[in-house]
Amino acid sequence: MLHDQIAVVTGASRGIGRSIARRLAALGAHVVLCARHREDLERLAEELHSAGQNATVFPFDLTQATQVEALAQAVREQHQRCDILVNNAGVSQMGPPLHQISLQDWDRLMAINLRGPFLMIRAFAPLMIERGSGHIINISSLAGHNPLKNGASYSASKWGLNGLTYSVAEELRDHGIRVSVIAPGSVNTEFGGKIPANADARLQPSDIADVVALLVQQRQQSFVSEVLMRPARKP
């Protein structure tokens, strides 16, 4: 169980992030709910409070370094620790081939999918280093292992996130901090603004939350570097 632990989850207002936040709260963690939309976060916090669980709402823009730093400072002042950081927030970019993508779309995707986790790790790793423990989990994608036609920018962001994860794990392991990446395939969410077809055949957000729960409850002497997740049946 995770009693007295502080967990920060980005993209917590919906989909995979909401499911992860629910699971960590049910395990006893105080979950700091982070996303852009305050109302969605407050509804989730009310749900968790009604179940006797602990959560704090912190709306912010992941692409703004000053707002990420303000979040880390608030966690330091209120809790003096961060035990779990889940970098879940992400956006997709499926559509035209790479040579037809606008610079604005490329920059936005990289800012959220790759620069965002960098900013979060840079802000929260010092707090974990001070305590000599912590677990960082980055939510990637199987697109970070495979070519993706008409999704090159999204794939590139996830390949980058995987490389960031493997390297940061080596940088932080001597401080007692574990860094893992989860790479799911097709998930039943409205990721990208579209209602998915064959929803029952896809991974469910709770499936990813199950793996997060497994990782953060491992004994301290080991950690799982990466988990690849696929639906049992192709959707």
Q: Report the catalytic residues.
A: 154
Burial of 142 (0-12, 13-18, 19+ CB in 10 A): middle
Euclidean distance between CA atoms 70 and 220, whole angstroms = 29
DSSP 30-92: EEEEEES-HHHHHHHHHHHHHTT-EEEEEE--TT-HHHHHHHHHHHHHHHS---EEEE-----
Euclidean distance between CA atoms 28 and 25, whole angstroms = 5
Euclidean distance between CA atoms 215 and 193, whole angstroms = 29
